[in-house]
Amino acid sequence: MRSRARALTLVAGLMVLGLVPVVAALANQPFYLDLFRRIMIFAIAAVGLDLILGFGGMVSFGHAAYLGIGAYAVAIPAFYGIHSGLVQWTLAMALSGLAALAIGAVSLRTSGVSFIMITLAFAQMLYYLGISINAWGADDGMRLARRSQFGGVVDLTNGYVFYYVVFGVLVALLALGHRLVHARFGVVIRAAKSNEPRMRAIGFSTFRYKLAAFVIAGAVGGLAGALLTNQTEYLTPSYMHWTRSGDIMVMVILGGMGTLYGPVLGAVVFLLLEDLLSAWTVHWQVVLGPLLVLVVLYARRGLWSLLPGAIARDG
C-alpha cells in the first residue's frame, strides 16, 4: 500500500529527528544537537514558505524578512529586559504576520516576475532598516543576553529541552499543515494556483484567501526567527538578507514544492551539505548547484517524491 509506505517513511523520518539528542548524548557529540536544532528551525520556515510557494503558487522571494522580524521581536524586548518567551514569541508571530499582511496586500495585486521582485524589495527594505538602526546593533547586530524564559517551566538553556521544543513546534506545524491543505482553505489555495480564471468564474474572490495564506506563512516565518535568535543567541540583520530568502527557497525546491514534508527534507539535505562540505571548501555551493539542477530536471516534486510511498499531491 502506498499510503502505508508513506506513513512509514514519515514516521521513520520523524523518529530520526526525535532520536538525534539520544545519539548525540551517547556519542558525546553535542554539536549534532545544535546542528539538527538549526536544521529544524529552518525546516519550520521552509514549511511555512511552501504553503504559499508550493501549494499557492506565490513565489515569495522575501521570506527571510519574517525570519528577521521574529528575531528582532525576541532580541529587542530582551535588550530592554523583557525575557518572557510568551511575550516574545507572540510578538514575533503577530508582527511578522502583520508585516506579511501589509506586504501581501500590495504584492498580491501583481503576479509573475513583478510579484517576485516586490516581495524581494520589501525584504531588502527591512534588511537596510535593520542595518541602519544603531540602537539595536546596526549591521553588527547584538547579543541575546538570555534565551526566552517560560517561567522556569521550560528551560531553553538546556540544549536538550530546547531541541524538543523546536521538534514539538515542527511536528505541530506539520500536523496543522496537514489539516489545512486538505480543508476548504487549502483546496482554495491549491486551486487558485492551478487555474485562477476558473476560480473567478465559479465565484471565488481568491485574493483574500491568498492574503490569509501569505499571513500564515509570514507568522510561521516569524516563529522560526524567534527560535533562530534563541539558537544563535545573537541577532543580526543578515537574517533578513536576500540570500537567506534564497536559501529557504532552495530548501523548499530541493525537498519538494507543494508537499508538506518535502521542505523538511530539503532543510536537512541543504544544511547537512553545507555543514559537511564547508569543512572542505567555502565554495560548497559548487556541489549544491548541480544537485539542485538535477532535482529540478529529474524530480520535479523534489527529493521527497523519490522516497518510498511519497506521492506528490498529498504531500
Partner 1 sequence: MAEPLLAVRGLTMRFGGLVATDGVDLDVAEGETLAIIGPNGAGKTTLIGQLSGDLAPDAGTIRFAGEDVTGLPGPTRSQRGLARSFQITSIFPEFTALDNVALAVQAHAGHSFRFWTPARAERALREPARATLERVGLGARADVVAGTLAHGEQRQLEIAMALATRPRLLLLDEPVAGMGADESQRMVQLLRALRGRHTIVLVEHDMDVVFALADRISVMVYGRVIASGAPEAIRANAEVRRAYLGEEIPA
Residue from 157, 158, 195, 278 in contact with partner 1 (CB under 8 A): 195
By CB under 8 A, tell whether 183 contacts partner 1. yes
By CB under 8 A, tell whether 212 contacts partner 1. yes
By CB under 8 A, tell whether 203 contacts partner 1. yes
- Give 71 or 219: the residue with its C-beta nearer to partner 1: 219
Q: Which three cell numbers stand for residue 83?
A: 525575557
Q: Which position has the grid cell 541602519? A: 132
Residue 256 phi, psi dihedral angles, 5° rounding? 140, 105
Scanning 118-126, 146-154, 156-164, 198-206 for contacts with partner 1 by CB under 8 A, the matching segment is 198-206
By CB under 8 A, tell whether 198 contacts partner 1. yes
Q: Identify the DSSP state of 258.
A: T
- The SS3 of residue 301 is coil
By CB under 8 A, tell whether 179 contacts partner 1. yes
By CB under 8 A, tell whether 100 contacts partner 1. no
By CB under 8 A, tell whether 200 contacts partner 1. yes
Residue from 194, 281, 283, 294 in contact with partner 1 (CB under 8 A): 194
Q: How far is the CB of 21 from partner 1 (least distance, A)?
A: 32
Residue from 204, 234, 242, 284 in contact with partner 1 (CB under 8 A): 204
Look at residues 108, 114, 120, 104 and name the one whose alpha carbon lies nearest to residue 217: 104
Number of residues that bind partner 1 (CB under 8 A): 25
Element at 243 (helix H, strand E): helix 242-255
Distance of CA 106 to the CA centre of its chain: 22
Residue from 81, 205, 279, 282 in contact with partner 1 (CB under 8 A): 205
Q: Identify the DSSP state of 20.
A: H
Scanning 41-49, 52-60, 192-200, 287-295 for contacts with partner 1 by CB under 8 A, the matching segment is 192-200
The sign of the dihedral angle between the CA atoms of 170, 174, 177, 181 is positive
> CA 27, CA 224: separation in Å to the nearest integer?
28
> CA 272, CA 16: separation in Å to the nearest integer?
14
Distance of CA 190 to the CA centre of its chain: 19
The rounded radius of gyration (Å) of the Cα atoms in the chain is 19
Sketch the per residue contact string, 134 through 173, with partner 1: x for CB under 8 A, - otherwise. Answer: ----------------------------------------
- Give 292 or 299: the residue with its C-beta nearer to partner 1: 299
- Give 204 or 284: the residue with its C-beta nearer to partner 1: 204
Amino acid letter at 93? M
> CA 240, CA 163: separation in Å to the nearest integer?
24
Amino acid letter at 41? I
- For binding to partner 1 (CB under 8 A), which residues are involved? 176, 179-180, 182-188, 191, 194-195, 197-205, 209, 212, 313
